[in-house]
Amino acid sequence: MIDSGLWHTDDPEVPSQRIWLKVRETLERRTSPYQEIAVLDTVLFGRALVLNNVIQTAERDEFCYHEMLVHPVMLAHPAPRHVLIIGGGDGGALRRVLEHNTVERVTMVEIDRDVVEVCRRHLTAIHANAFDDPRVDLRFEDGFAFVQARPSRYDIIIVDGPDPIGTTPGAVLFAGEFYQALADMLTDDGIVVQQTESPFLLPAQTAATYILLRRVLPIARTYLTTVQSYDGAWSFTLGARSIDPATVDEAVLLARMNERGISACRYYSPAVHRAAFQLPVFLQQFLDESLAAGRPAETHPLMPEVNLRFPGFQP
């Protein structure tokens, strides 16, 4: 039974599961033109950013997400100079991109300046003041509209949007036409990566991005990390023109880490990089079936109660 203290529970991604986190204090809560924003001081995970009542990132385990969102694609590339981040208002992905001394410019397109303002104030442990780096070009606009204009080409594109559930402004970041624009903005050896939800709860989202990236780029891969403050396993999906991050040698990855001065990782390593692309059998089968059908399979591989008629799959 939940005791009388202060607790937070996410708006569920699927019915019949809720995660409860004990909260010491609500540090800030405000409504922006785009979403409800809150920073909670949680007992287990430290300070956490919550958008529209869904946890986005938390101090204690953000490294599990941000190191694995950024370093596999950045280290697979021989010299990433120009990087685009869409979303990522907490600054955790930006901080990891800037650790690579090859980077000359990072364009970050975040729709909600209130998120950055709140995170600047309360979540320095996540962003480490990355927003202030002179290489950063921070723009407050819709990432979907930004890519439609195809303003430039990038070595790496990172789409760090929220979960495509509820009233988030992030649903457009999972629409079919979005991926063609991303592909058009990659350099010849460019790589794009997107967070693609829980492979256990929302495998249709994971499959949808995999299918859509496969349509616009010759290489597409899914890989996993673990983010306990979300609910465990979490997926990323990448697409590339010529470099396959799943096959880069560990020795090459280690040499690049040393050349770029990347040493303080607590989740990422070259061995973890390679292992992350080895998927559980049920997930690989689900992705293969979905790709063959040209749309996410509609029967959940593990939980028939979860309705996978995926409203978000906009081919």
Alpha carbons 187 and 194: distance in angstroms, whole number:
17
Catalytic residue (choose from 3, 160, 188, 244): 160
Nearer to ligand SAM, 179 or 297 (CB): 179
Query: Following DSSP, what letter does each residue of 79-123 receive, concatenated?
Result: ---EEEEEE-TTSHHHHHHHTSTT--EEEEE-S-HHHHHHHHHH-
Binding mask 47-76 for ligand SAM (x = CB under 6 A): --x------xx-------x-----------
Give the range of 13-21, 156-164, 199-207, 218-226 binding ligand SAM by CB under 6 A: 156-164
Nearer to ligand SAM, 91 or 270 (CB): 91
Q: How far apart are CB 109 and ligand SAM at their closest, in Å? A: 6
Q: How far apart are CB 64 and ligand SAM at their closest, in Å? A: 11
Chosen residue from 72, 169, 239, 245 binding ligand SAM by CB under 6 A: 169
When asked if residue 199 is in the footprint of ligand SAM (CB under 6 A), the reply is: no
Decide if 160 is catalytic: yes
Nearer to ligand SAM, 121 or 247 (CB): 121
Closest CA to 76 of 266, 243, 195, 239: 243
- Return the amino acid letter for 266: R
When asked if residue 161 is in the footprint of ligand SAM (CB under 6 A), the reply is: yes
Q: How far apart are CB 271 and ligand SAM at their closest, in Å? A: 24
Residues 221 and 246 sit within 8 Å (Cβ to Cβ): yes
Residues 171 and 312 sit within 8 Å (Cβ to Cβ): yes
Residue with smallest beta-carbon separation from ligand SAM: 89
Binding mask 100-139 for ligand SAM (x = CB under 6 A): ---------xxxx--x------------------------
Residue with tokens 């956490």: 48
53 burial type by CB count under 10 A (0-12 exposed, 13-18 middle, 19+ buried) = middle
Total interface residues for ligand SAM by CB under 6 A: 26
Nearer to ligand SAM, 61 or 112 (CB): 112
Q: Which two tokens stand for residue 134?
A: 């002179």
- How many other C-beta atoms are found inside a 10 Å radius of the C-beta of residue 315? 11
Q: How many helices (H) and strands (E) does the chain have?
A: 10, 12
Provide the 3-class DSSP secondary structure of residue 206: helix
When asked if residue 235 is in the footprint of ligand SAM (CB under 6 A), the reply is: no
* Letter string b/e over residues 113-128, b meaning 16 or more CB atoms within 10 A of that residue's CB: bbbbebbbebbeebbb
- Return the amino acid letter for 298: E
Residues 189 and 78 sit within 8 Å (Cβ to Cβ): yes
Give the range of 81-89, 127-135, 201-209, 217-225 binding ligand SAM by CB under 6 A: 81-89
Query: Which residues of the chain form contacts with ligand SAM (CB under 6 A)?
Result: 49, 56-57, 65, 86-90, 109-112, 115, 142-144, 160-163, 169-170, 172-173, 195
> Which residues participate in catalysis according to the annotation?
160
